[in-house]
Chains A and B, each alone.
Chain A
Amino acid sequence: MQIGLFIPCLVDQFFPQAGLAVARILKRLGHSVEYPAEQTCCGQPAFNAGVRSEAAALAKRFIQVFDRFEAVVAPSGSCVAMVRNFYPELLDLAPHSSFITRVFEFSEFLVDRLNVTDLGATFNERVTYHDSCHLLRELRVREQPRQLLRAVKGLDFVELNDGPTCCGFGGVFSVKFPEVSTVMGEDKVAAIERTGARYVVASDCGCLMHIGGLLTRRDSKVRPIHLAELLGGAP
């Protein structure tokens, strides 16, 4: 399959390894992966701020950049939710427009589209999984990441018994209302620590950045890691 890689801004700037892992895994599965270098942002930050005209300009651009691919895959539930759930409203598209149905979040693409759950990875650690809100509630992706994690050899999977509830990131929310966001994150981190896991896995770099920022601030031994990175292993 001819796959276009969509690397959201946070992945590009802070977590490039997650993006590389996605590319590596998809190539290993025999697909051709291309990264259109002219891509930038899907427009979500402006959309969430209510400034829809600026968001629409970037949404149109996004479609132009990615329209030629059979599938578009991103290591981010939030950005895919922006395209799938909000582009139709923003650009007046049909909700099942052929473009929208070709954009996938990484774990749902593997499990639902490629029917792959076992990537042959090994990870000898106790791991918990944080459901990022947009992946869970906008895209309804819950089981796919768990299936992928359970197939990893040596991995001791523990559920995070906290709802699942938001980590408090929420994009601009985290800087606009830092106190509220922090308290939400601190409760999340406490729940993570209660599991005794060494790693907290998520499929969104926003959550990983927020949870990670609180973990290192309190010198926790728990490390945040993107699902793709865990599954992709070393090159």
Chain B
Amino acid sequence: MMHTPVLEEQRRATLARALNLALDKRRQSVAEFPDWEAMRQRAHDIRAGALDRLDEYLNQFERAAAANGIRVVRVATAEEACLYVVAIAKRIGVTTAVKSKSMVTEEIHLNRALETEGIRAMETDLGEYIAQLCGQPPFHLTAPIVHLSRDEVGRILADKLGVPFTNDPTQLTLIARDAMRREFLTARLGISGANFCVAETGSLVLVTNEGNGRMCTTLPAKEGPRVHVAITGIEKVVPALKDVAHLLRLLARSGSGMRLTAYTTLINGPRKRAAGEETTGPDEVHVLLLDNGRRAMLRDPHLREALCCIRCGACSNTCPVYHRIGGHAYQSVYNGPIGSVWSAALWDTEQAATLPFVSSLCGACADICPVKIDIHHALLWQRKLAADRGYTPRWQRLVWWAWRVAMSHPALYGFGSIVARRLFSPAILNRLGKPWTETRDLPPLARKSFHEMWKEEAPK
């Protein structure tokens, strides 16, 4: 069984401060809308409606994007996606790529694939950049270093970049910006994800808070061919721009409590005119639409809902388990409540199959989700799938079988209950009750069970 260590106290406090701040800000910005519940429902209907007619919208997107000069490619697996990007890098002869934050590229381990081919992928989202500097995976869907304090960030930058230590956020941002600027101005390969693909117009929508997404996709380099590759899941398609407008109102508010992210970028294709006339904008834009297990999710009515996710991160912010164990404990690219649903759906491994069990099923995630995914019910369903796939050890199945047999025979249950009362003194119960009793007391068994009491004297 997976061991899930609790973060040490200091780390827990740092994390809780950041997550609770986001939750507080969310509460305030949501309070601006008396009809928030109706907005959630509409957001859900938009996403679910798009999934209901996914192929139709994907085809429409593909046609509209192609008309804008975007090359749309369907990729089935992570390997296929990585190979495609590597091939582009080789064709245009670059050894560096700038990247805007993207969970899908984490999912396919693109950086690793590029590195084995001698291509350095540089993360340009500040949090992701720092995570990359210290070789850590993102801690959170939207906030990769939410668990680090300002001091720690300052020390990492001082260590890795050889700059003087500071813990002033403005200074820290400037230092990182300085390091990135040089790359931005010469980069010829930009890699991003996409928050939405708009079927109606063939546009990509990208939201960021630092403007780095724009630098990665406009590629202001002066020399040579410039290419932007966006990699995203097939589920990200939405019918129309007005749907995007609605979803954007919920996305940032839910995740960070901001009304809107600082930058919302709409990408409608490569540079239209010759390089001399229009200086920014890539020569080519490629969109990879990745399956990698999503179609299987789509076929399962219980998992289909999870594809509605707009990756706001609110479910992690509110999850009492995430608060205590943190993102890295999940040992999966996708962490937190929805991450557990996704991980178990995308990867058929014991580790991923365990994740849905690391939940008290409290349902706080479903209550906060802006697109109304029944996240904890999806976790329950994943538990069933885990058992069906044989991830529940045989001895456990046997225990459940025996338990069911006992519970099907009231006499057996009643007998057990009486025997337990005679045999199990509090001391024995305490010993049998491990690991519960290591940190918590067990109440003594009642002198008589309700059943016995009722038989003797039902209250008048």
Contacts and interface: CB of A to CB of B under 8 A. Distances in A.
A177 B2 CA distance: 9
A54 B410 contact: no
B361 A16 contact: no
B443 interface: yes
Contacts, number: 175
B427 interface: no
B362 A170 contact: yes
B134 interface: no
Contact of B449 (A16, A38, A41, A213): A16
A212 B401 CA distance: 30
B441 A213 contact: yes
Given A14-B445, A175-B435, A168 B360 contact: yes
Interface stretch (A44-52, A104-112, A144-152): A44-52
B6 A183 contact: yes
Interface residues of B, number: 62
Given A48-B361, A214-B440, A168 B320 contact: yes
Given A20-B459, A52-B384, A170 B443 contact: no
A123 interface: no
A117 interface: no
A46 B384 contact: no
A183 B324 contact: yes
Interface stretch (A5-13, A91-99, A195-203): A5-13
Contact of A178 (B325, B438, B443, B455): B438
B33 interface: no
B408 A166 contact: no
Nearest to A45: B403
Interface in B386-423: 386-388, 392, 396-397, 400-401, 403-404, 406-408, 410, 413, 417, 420
7 contacts: A20-B453, A20-B454, A23-B459, A24-B459, A52-B384, A137-B366, A213-B442
The 3 A-B residue pairs whose C-beta atoms are closest, nearest first, are A170-B360, A50-B383, A213-B440
Interface of B: 1, 4-6, 12, 320-321, 324-325, 357-364, 366-367, 380, 382-388, 392, 396-397, 400-401, 403-404, 406-408, 410, 413, 417, 420, 435-436, 438-446, 448-451, 453-455, 458-460
Interface of A: 7, 11-17, 19-20, 23-24, 27, 35, 37-41, 43, 45-52, 54, 57-58, 61, 86, 133-134, 137-138, 163, 165-166, 168-171, 173-185, 209-210, 212-214, 216-217, 235
